[in-house]
Amino acid sequence: MTTEPSPTDADRRARGMEVRRAVLSDAHVDRAIAGTTPLTADFQDLITRYAWGDVWSRPGLDRRSRSVAVLTALIALGHHEELALHLRAALRNGLTVDEIREVILQSAIYCGVPAANTAFRIASEVLGDAEA
Put simply, whether the predicted model's pTM sits higher than 0.75 gets the answer: yes
Where do runs of H (alpha helix) occur along 47-96?
63-77, 80-92
List pLDDT tens digits, range 36-72: 999 999 999 999 999 999 999 999 999 999 999 999 9
CATH fold for domain 61-132: AhpD-like (1.20.1290)
**What are the residue boundaries of the structural domains of the chain, listed by start?**
9-58, 61-132
CA atoms of 21 and 43, how far apart (whole Å): 17
Question: What type of residue sits at position 26?
Answer: D
